[in-house]
């Protein structure tokens, strides 16, 4: 059967067909849908783990216990999971273990564009890179075979354009893979120094064997065409190059670590001029050059952002496409939705002129005008540690005008340890947890605080207040972010305390809330055009020549603007 499938769905399908029993992840664009689709198969146990490190550890446990297992994450998630990754490279596996990592060249939804292929090299782990959905499905199945044959975890690298592109796949049957026997093998699975030293030797042997086998692996293939131009490429870069120069000769790499040296040398000998087309870092290029092969790559292609077919045609064939220049128009960056609960907190923070260390989620959008509510965004959980660091650097006077802002899912991911640090090291930070009862930015995934699992089972939700009290924080209060007076009182009082405190701003994400309220309107006779409502940064409130106007196709009736209008000019229909 043929079906149009998202690259991420094809990864999940590949896992299903490969007999995977356990799939784990923490949501992160562009990897999120992999595990959502995996969860739809009854045969696969799938979970949202609190973070990527735990996700990988669960998958390692499942593999050791004899079940094929997969963990999926975005590129920065692999940083969080790097600790287990580097050591599971030493232990190897029992049943197959595959780690999917989705890079984001061009940073469509990320804070950096690091190249995960370096992880494969640094951790000595084979890495496959599919170029479309069919390959995504096929490569997952191959990855499990390689994992068991070579006793190694296998990485599969996606990029946004493969993860989030749909193309046609042919579906197969699920393989019947029985649980492998579980044996206690301390020399293999207990990585204390004496054992690890021996395992490192095995890792080197394994990578050499894989490198030898790579030249005959079916996913590394030569497509001879016009021999004046030879192109080495993998993943989406192969598709762009093929689009730009369909008649050139290609060496398409399906495995990007280790590289098939013999095949590359043979291809280099067959073409007149050799190019390597790769997005981000010169990972292939530097290795190929180290073998004394003349090849052109980053001399003509950028290391930042995405490549494109037009760019490749121009740089290699000198064929510039005549394109009309883009029009100069007002930018339209993403914004917080109408009715977003974060807006209330940010409005008050701006009013009180507080500094704020921020974190990763929809609420990062609060850095943009008009709210301009947060000062920083580095990584998951960073807001709390950074607020503590700012206090230690600049003293208590400064930190009384500072809060850390973090979402509920992000707090559970890696905010808890930061908060423990504040308590332990006698800080007095105030942390605001924006609890919208979901993982919002990635498209509403459950987490330990929502009371539901990825498989849809009801579970007792983590009680944040009890958790925070247990850490040793005495001042925890829960507010509704739309009750602006309560929010202001809480922020004023808690930031003045000479001990750490937490404010939990609780209100469900506007896109989840089933509550439908009538939209509100501005009475033009009463409105004084003061513009205070515009400071909310609500996309439904527009500034027209004749005054403020509320767009009813966007307004969700949350009523926050009613509360900030000093003249009572905003009213709900029918009131």
Partner 1 sequence: MNTRSILIVGVGGQGTLLASRVLGNLFVDLGYDVKISEVHGMAQRGGSVVTHVRYGTKVYSPLIEPGTADILLAFEKMEALRWIHFLKPDGRAIINSQEIEPMSVIMGTYEYPKDLEGRILKACAGTVFFDALSVAQELGNVRVANTALIGVLARLMDVAPEAWEKAIKAVVPPKTVDINLKAFRRGYNLEVS
By the criterion CB under 8 A, which residues form the site for partner 1?
2-4, 29-30, 32-33, 108-109, 132, 160-161, 164-168, 236, 239-240, 242-243, 246, 308-310, 321-327, 329-337, 362, 365, 368-370, 441-443, 534, 537, 539, 541-543, 551, 553-554
Nearer of residues 309 and 423 to partner 1, judged by Cβ: 309
Q: Please report how close the Cβ of residue 364 comes to partner 1 at its closest, in angstroms.
A: 8
Q: Please report how close the Cβ of residue 240 comes to partner 1 at its closest, in angstroms.
A: 5
Nearer of residues 194 and 326 to partner 1, judged by Cβ: 326
Joined together, the tokens standing for residue 518 give 């009538």
Q: Please report how close the Cβ of residue 543 comes to partner 1 at its closest, in angstroms.
A: 5
- What lies within 8 Å, CB to CB, of 4 at 6+ separation is 166, 167, 168, 169
Q: Please report how close the Cβ of residue 273 comes to partner 1 at its closest, in angstroms.
A: 21
- What lies within 8 Å, CB to CB, of 482 at 6+ separation is 341, 344, 507, 558, 559, 560, 563
Q: How far apart are CA 157 and CA 117, in angstroms?
A: 8
Q: How far apart are CA 560 and CA 564, in angstroms?
A: 7
- What lies within 8 Å, CB to CB, of 161 at 6+ separation is 236, 306
Q: Please report how close the Cβ of residue 374 comes to partner 1 at its closest, in angstroms.
A: 15
Nearer of residues 106 and 559 to partner 1, judged by Cβ: 106
Q: How far apart are CA 176 and CA 45, in angstroms?
A: 16
Nearer of residues 336 and 487 to partner 1, judged by Cβ: 336
In the three-class reduction of DSSP (H, G, I as helix; E, B as strand; rest coil), residue 311 is classed as helix
Count other Cβ atoms within 10 Å, centred on residue 291: 12
- What lies within 8 Å, CB to CB, of 331 at 6+ separation is none
Q: Report the b/e string of 449-486 with b at 16+ CB within 10 A.
A: bbeebbeeeeeeebebeebbeebebebbeebebbebeb
Q: Please report how close the Cβ of residue 352 comes to partner 1 at its closest, in angstroms.
A: 21
- Candidates 28, 68, 76, 21; CA nearest to 48 is 28
Nearer of residues 326 and 393 to partner 1, judged by Cβ: 326
Q: Please report how close the Cβ of residue 214 comes to partner 1 at its closest, in angstroms.
A: 24
Joined together, the tokens standing for residue 278 give 């790769």
Nearer of residues 117 and 161 to partner 1, judged by Cβ: 161
Nearer of residues 216 and 243 to partner 1, judged by Cβ: 243
Q: Please report how close the Cβ of residue 324 comes to partner 1 at its closest, in angstroms.
A: 4
Q: Please report how close the Cβ of residue 112 comes to partner 1 at its closest, in angstroms.
A: 14
Nearer of residues 68 and 535 to partner 1, judged by Cβ: 535
Is residue 205 reached through a cis peptide bond, with omega within 30 degrees of 0 on the bond before it?
Answer: no
By the 8 A CB rule, do 26 and 413 touch? Answer: yes
Nearer of residues 3 and 392 to partner 1, judged by Cβ: 3
Structural element, H or E, at residue 197: helix 193-214
Joined together, the tokens standing for residue 330 give 């007002």
Q: Nearest 5 degrees, angle CA 185-CA 190-CA 191?
A: 135
Q: Please report how close the Cβ of residue 78 comes to partner 1 at its closest, in angstroms.
A: 17
Nearer of residues 333 and 460 to partner 1, judged by Cβ: 333
Q: How far apart are CA 93 and CA 20, in angstroms?
A: 14
Q: Please report how close the Cβ of residue 108 comes to partner 1 at its closest, in angstroms.
A: 5
Joined together, the tokens standing for residue 354 give 């507080």
Nearer of residues 80 and 313 to partner 1, judged by Cβ: 313
The CA distances from residue 146 to 142, 154, 207, 301, in Å, are 6, 7, 12, 33
Q: How far apart are CA 340 and CA 366, in angstroms?
A: 11
């Amino acid at each position: 059967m043929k079906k149009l499938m998202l690259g991420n769905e094809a990864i999940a399908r590949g896992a299903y067909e490969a007999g995977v029993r356990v799939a784990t992840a923490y949501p992160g664009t562009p990897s999120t849908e992999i595990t959502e689709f995996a969860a739809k198969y009854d045969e696969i146990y799938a979970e949202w783990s609190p973070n990527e490190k735990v996700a990988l550890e669960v998958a390692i446990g499942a593999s050791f216990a004899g079940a094929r297992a997969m963990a999926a994450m975005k590129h920065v998630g692999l940083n969080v999971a790097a600790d287990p990754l580097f050591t599971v490279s030493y232990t190897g596996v029992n049943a197959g273990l595959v780690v999917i990592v989705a890079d984001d060249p061009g940073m469509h939804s990320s804070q950096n564009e690091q190249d995960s292929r370096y992880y494969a090299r640094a951790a000595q782990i084979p890495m496959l890179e599919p170029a479309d959905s069919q390959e995504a499905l096929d490569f997952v199945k191959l990855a499990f075979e390689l994992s068991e044959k070579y006793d190694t975890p296998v990485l599969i690298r996606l990029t946004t354009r493969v993860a989030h592109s749909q193309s046609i796949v042919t579906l197969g049957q699920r393989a019947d893979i029985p649980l492998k026997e579980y044996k206690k093998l301390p020399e293999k699975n207990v990585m204390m120094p004496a054992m690890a030293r021996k395992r490192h030797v095995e890792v080197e042997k394994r990578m050499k064997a894989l490198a030898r086998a790579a030249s005959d692996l079916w996913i590394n293939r030569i497509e001879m065409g016009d021999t004046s131009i030879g192109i080495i490429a993998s993943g989406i870069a192969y598709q762009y190059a093929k689009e730009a120069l369909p008649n050139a000769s290609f060496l398409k790499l399906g495995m990007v670590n280790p590289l098939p040296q013999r095949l590359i040398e043979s291809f280099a000998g067959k073409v007149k001029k050799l190019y390597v087309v790769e997005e981000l870092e010169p990972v292939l290029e530097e290795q190929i050059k180290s073998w004394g092969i003349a090849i052109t790559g980053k001399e003509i292609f950028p290391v930042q952002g995405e490549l494109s077919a037009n760019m490749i045609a121009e740089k290699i064939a000198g064929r510039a496409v005549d394109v009309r220049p883009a029009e100069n128009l007002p930018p339209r960056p993403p914004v917080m939705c109408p009715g977003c609960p974060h807006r209330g907190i940010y409005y008050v923070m701006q009013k009180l002129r507080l500094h704020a260390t921020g974190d990763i989620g929809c609420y990062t959008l609060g850095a943009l005008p008009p709210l301009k509510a947060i000062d920083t965004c580095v990584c998951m959980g960073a807001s709390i540690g950074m607020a503590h660091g700012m206090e230690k650097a600049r003293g208590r006077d400064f930190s009384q005008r500072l809060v850390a802002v973090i979402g509920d899912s992000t707090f559970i991911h890696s905010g808890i340890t930061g908060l423990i640090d504040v308590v332990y090291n006698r800080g007095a930070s105030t942390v605001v947890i924006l609890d919208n009862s979901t993982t919002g930015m990635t498209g509403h995934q459950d987490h330990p605080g929502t009371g539901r699992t990825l498989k849809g089972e009801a579970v007792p939700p983590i009680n944040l207040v009890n958790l925070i009290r247990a850490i040793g924080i005495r001042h925890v209060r829960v507010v509704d972010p739309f009750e602006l007076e309560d929010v202001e009182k809480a922020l004023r009082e808690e930031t003045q305390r000479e001990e750490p405190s937490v404010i939990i701003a609780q209100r469900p994400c506007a896109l989840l809330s089933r509550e439908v309220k009538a939209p509100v309107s501005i009475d033009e006779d009463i409105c004084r055009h003061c513009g205070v409502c515009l400071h909310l940064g609500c996309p439904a409130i527009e500034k027209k020549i004749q005054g403020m106007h509320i767009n009813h196709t966007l307004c969700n009736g949350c009523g926050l603007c009613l509360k900030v209008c000093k003249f009572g000019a905003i009213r709900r229909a029918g009131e």
